[in-house]
Amino acid sequence: MQSDTKENPLGFRSIPSLLKSFAIPSIIAMLVSSLYNIVDQIFIGQGVGYLGNAATNVSYPLTTICLAIALLIGIGSASRFSLHLGAGEKDIAEKVVGNGICMMFTFGILYAVLVEIFMSPLLTAFGATPDVMPYAETYSRIVALGMPFLIVTNGMSNLARADGSPKYSMTCMLIGAVINTILDPVFIFIFHLGVAGAAWATIIGQFFSFIFALMYIRKFKNITLKKKDIGLSAKECIQTASLGMSNSLNQVAITFVQIVLNNSLTYYGAMSVYGKEIPLAACGIVMKTNAILLAFIIGISQGSQPIIGFNYGARQYDRVRKTYKLAIAANLVISAIGFILFQFFPYQIISLFGTGEAAYFEFAVRFMRIFLFMVIFNGIQLISSNFFAAIGKPVKGLLLSMTRQVIFLIPLVLILPLFFGLDGILFAGPAADGIAFIVTICLIAGEIKKMKQMETEQRLLKQAAK
């Protein structure tokens, strides 16, 4: 079946114009998504103290696992949707969406139930100390109720973007964040609900985002979803998961990194002048501040996905390369700004998250400057990983996802402190970033070369046909 590149703007509109229209709403959506946790940290820091911040840090892996499930289904479905639309296979695209929606609901409910059952051992594994555990359990038991809402909203948001509705995708996330931001101070400072108030504000916001996301099922532009398309198929699930795997496992890897970091920081922190709680709280602030920068980069990456996927499916390889290069250029500019802020204004950034003793600020500033020193290279690895998923090559995308987080960072976090103590954990970050960057360049160079060869073969075939 022939592609409909003449009908779909993804096939003919200028790349800068397309990337701008898709990436900006995606960036806003990602920023809004990260605000759920950032706003909680700020208000909890002001209303509860650094033990409350440590509690949300311990709870954070539950959210990253939830996002990993959402990306597995959402990015996987959106990538397949774009590839089949580019190839003109709308009937298959409809089945992809129907199966994806069923996966979102099934996985969301199952995950929430498992979290509630195994809450205490999970939080212990994530690094909760006896002082932090009561806050962490109160917060997490409430937040877990909203996990199905978060998975469906994120999944539908990706599908809406792939369907050519990036602003709708953005609005899905924006609704919940606005509600969360309004309710946080009300529940914490007026009703004095502490960390429980922050948790209730979060899931109420997620519920309204969920309702708005569901409404898109009847608003698809490029397909008409029918009852026969809705249902679970093992074959469809496997194909969707294969394309969403690299993005999903990147989130899972972040969770493992968070667990290893939390436990290493409390272990080596106890041997230092800072104690257990200060490194744990500081890590939460630094990681969630970095999440704001990552929101920009992930937004660019997700904004480029439908353009890359559609044009790769339509065999317009020059447009694929141009989109990737423009996404990398935009990422470098934003990452450079992030580097300047992290290196020259760390105290001002950390101060936003509440007060603390001098030792807390001393360690948090040092953590931010050292751990995020090579942050300018992170985006290249992340965008490249998503690039491989978008063109239907999940294995390479998966490899890139694993390089920085699992293959390099976790071993370095475990090994370097043996020689350098608490400082070894801090220096593990930039070391892993540098090595992962080199691996990324090698894989991407090979793929670009292969794409140029396919383009040459395609041109020769057309000439021969004439």
- Structural domain spans, the chain: 23-231, 244-465
Q: How far apart are CA 260 and CA 257, in angstroms?
A: 5
Q: How far apart are CA 19 and CA 66, in angstroms?
A: 27
- pLDDT at residue 33 in the model: 67
Q: How far is CA 177 from CA 14, 158, 207, 211, 343, in A?
A: 32, 17, 11, 14, 28
Q: How far apart are CA 145 and CA 148, in angstroms?
A: 7
Q: How far is CA 247 from CA 217, 302, 406, 458, in A?
A: 24, 10, 14, 31
- pLDDT at residue 35 in the model: 67
Q: How far is CA 14 from CA 11, 19, 20, 322, 414, in A?
A: 9, 9, 10, 10, 47
Q: Which three-class secondary structure state does DSSP give residue 163?
A: coil
Does the pTM of the predicted model rise above 0.85?
no
Longest dimension (CA), the chain: 77
- pLDDT at residue 371 in the model: 93
- pLDDT at residue 354 in the model: 67
- pLDDT at residue 344 in the model: 94
- pLDDT at residue 4 in the model: 54
Please answer whether residues 370 and 426 qualify as being in contact, where contact means their C-beta atoms are separated by less than 8 angstroms.
yes
Q: Which three-class secondary structure state does DSSP give residue 281?
A: helix
| Per-residue pLDDT reduced to its tens digit, 40-68 | 677 887 777 767 777 877 888 898 889 88
Task: Please provide the distance, in angstroms rounded to a whole number, between the alpha carbons at the two ends of the chain.
Answer: 21
Helices (H) and strands (E) in the chain, counts: 17, 0
Q: How far apart are CA 339 and CA 344, in angstroms?
A: 8
- pLDDT at residue 336 in the model: 95
What does the block give as tokens for 308?
A: 């890359």
- pLDDT at residue 1 in the model: 41
- pLDDT at residue 42 in the model: 77
- pLDDT at residue 227 in the model: 87
Q: How far apart are CA 82 and CA 309, in angstroms?
A: 5
- pLDDT at residue 45 in the model: 77
233: how many CB neighbours lie within 10 A of its CB?
14
Helix %, strand %, coil % for the chain, to 5? 85, 0, 15
- The per-residue b/e assignment along 169-199, b for 16 or more CB within 10 angstroms, e otherwise, is bbbbbbbbbebbbebbbebbeeeebbbbbbb
Contacts 24+ apart (CB under 8 A), 317-323: 317/451, 317/452, 317/454, 317/455, 317/458, 318/455, 319/11, 319/15, 320/391, 320/451, 321/448, 321/451, 322/15, 323/15, 323/18, 323/19
Q: How far apart are CA 405 and CA 403, in angstroms?
A: 6
* Rg from Cα positions in the chain: 22
- Which ranges of the chain have pLDDT less than 50? 1-3
Q: How far apart are CA 282 and CA 196, in angstroms?
A: 21
- pLDDT at residue 259 in the model: 82
